[in-house]
Amino acid sequence: MQEQKVQTQEPQNEGGSRSLEELLAEAQAKIETQRDAMLRAVADAENARKRAQAEAAAGQKFAVERFAETLLPVADSLEAAVAAAKHAPPGTREGVELTLRQLMSAFDKANLSQIAPAVGERFDPHRHQAMAAVPAEAEPNTIVTLMQKGYALHDRVLRPALVTVARAVEKPAENPISDTDLR
C-alpha cells in the first residue's frame, strides 16, 4: 500500500491573498445582506397580498355604487308621485306605493340607506349639504328644513341630504349716541 499524503492547505499570506477570518467575515456579511433582502421581499409580497385583498373587498362592497346613484332620481320621483297621488285613483296610488316599497326593499338589501335628518337635528357637513342659512329662533347650525333626502352606501355618502340650516337672528345694533338719549 502506498501512503497517501495528506496535504493541508495553509492560508497563504502572500501579497494579494486574505486570511480565512476575513473571507468568513465577508461571506457572513454577504449572507446577512441577502437574508435581509429576502425578508424585505417576503414582507413586500405579504403587504401586496393584503392590499389586493382589501381592494377586492372594497370593490365587492361598493360594486353597486354607480348603479345605485342612477336609481336615486327614480326613488325621488316615486316619492314625489306618492305625495302627489292623494287625489289619484286608489289603484294608481297603491301601485306607485308598492313600487316605491319594492325599490326601498332593494336598497335595504344592497345596504343603501336614506339620510333624512329631522328638523332640529345638528348639521353634519359629512352627511348634509347646506343649501341656505336662514335666520331662525332655533339653535344655530341645526336643520330647519329638509329639501332632498340623501343616501349612503354602507358608510360612504353617495348623495348628501340637502338642507336649510338655522343661523342666529341678528338683533339691530343700537347706536350708543342717538337723539333719544339727549332728552
Q: Is the pLDDT of residue 83 over 50?
A: yes
What is the C-alpha to C-alpha distance for residues 46 and 43, in angstroms, rounded to an integer? 5
- pLDDT at position 161 is 96
Hey, is 130 helix, strand or coil? strand
In order of 10, 77, 78, 106, the CA distances from 98 in angstroms are: 97, 14, 10, 12
User: What's CA 149's distance to the chain center, in Å?
Assistant: 20
* CA distance linking residue 27 with residue 160, whole number of Å: 63
Question: What percentage of the chain reaches a pLDDT higher than 70?
Answer: 84
Using 50, 70 and 90 to split pLDDT, how confident is the model at 60? confident
**How confident is the model over 48-55, as a mean pLDDT?**
92
**Cα–Cα distance measured from residue 103 to residue 69, given in angstroms and rounded to the nearest whole number:** 13
How sure is the predictor about 67, in pLDDT bands with cuts at 50, 70 and 90? confident
Confidence (pLDDT) at 38: 95
Buried b (16+ CB within 10 A) or exposed e, 15-28: eeeeeeeeeeeeee
Is the full-model pTM beyond 0.75? no
> What pLDDT score does 183 carry?
52
Q: What is d(CA 163, CA 150) in angstroms, rounded to the nearest whole number?
A: 10
- How confident is the model at residue 136, as a pLDDT? 86
List pLDDT tens digits, range 92-106. 899 999 999 999 999
pLDDT band at 137 (very low <50, low <70, confident <90, very high): confident
SS3 content of the chain, % helix, strand, coil (to 5): 50, 20, 30
At residue 144, the pLDDT reads 94
Mean pLDDT of the region 117-130: 93
Which stretches does DSSP call E strand in the chain?
A: 112-115, 128-135, 143-148, 150-153, 156-159, 161-167
